Amino acid sequence: MSRQFSSLLAIAAVAVTLTPAPALAQSTAKEVDCTQVKCVALTFDDGPGKYAGTLLDTLKKYDAKATFFLEGQYVKSRPSYVKRMVKEGHEIGNHSYKHPDFTKMTATAIRSEIQKTNDEIKKAAGVEPKLLRPPYGLSGVLTSEVAAEYDMPIILWTGGSRDWESKNEEAIKKQTLTVAKGNSIVLMHDWVKQTVDAMPSIIKTLQKNGYHLVKVTDIIKHENLKPGDTFPLPEGWDK
Ligand SMILES: [Zn+2]
CB-based contacts of 77, cutoff 8 Å, min separation 6: none
Cα of 137 vs centre of ligand 1, distance in Å, is: 8
Cα of 28 vs centre of ligand 1, distance in Å, is: 30
Count Cα neighbours of 152 within 13 Å in the Cβ-side half-sphere: 25
Q: What gap in Å lies between CA 134 and CA 120, rounded to an integer?
A: 17
pLDDT at 38 over 90: yes
Cα of 95 vs centre of ligand 1, distance in Å, is: 7
Cα of 205 vs centre of ligand 1, distance in Å, is: 26
Positive/negative CA dihedral, 216, 136, 229, 148: negative
In Å, how far are 48, 94, 126, 165, 237 from 121, measured between CA atoms?
A: 11, 9, 7, 28, 31
Q: What gap in Å lies between CA 71 and CA 235, rounded to an integer?
A: 26
Question: Residue 29 has what pLDDT?
Answer: 52
> Is 189 a catalytic site residue?
yes
3-state secondary structure at position 189: strand
In Å, how far are 97, 100, 163 from 177, measured between CA atoms?
A: 30, 30, 12
pLDDT at 127 over 50: yes
Question: Residue 48 has what pLDDT?
Answer: 98
Q: What gap in Å lies between CA 163 and CA 176, rounded to an integer?
A: 9
pLDDT at 18 over 90: no
Give pLDDT tens digits for 47-76.
999 999 999 999 999 999 999 999 999 999
Q: Which of 46, 189, 218, 229 is catalytic?
A: 189
Please, are residues 121 and 70 in contact by the beta-carbon 8 Å criterion? yes
Cα of 99 vs centre of ligand 1, distance in Å, is: 6
Give pLDDT tens digits for 128-179.
999 999 999 999 999 999 999 999 999 999 999 999 999 999 999 999 999 9
Higher pLDDT pick, 121 / 236: 121
> Is 33 a catalytic site residue?
no
Confidence at 25, pLDDT banded by 50, 70, 90 = very low
Higher pLDDT pick, 26 / 138: 138
In Å, how far are 66, 161, 162, 169 from 178, measured between CA atoms?
A: 18, 9, 11, 14
Confidence at 238, pLDDT banded by 50, 70, 90 = low
**Beta-carbon neighbour count of residue 214 at 10 Å?**
25
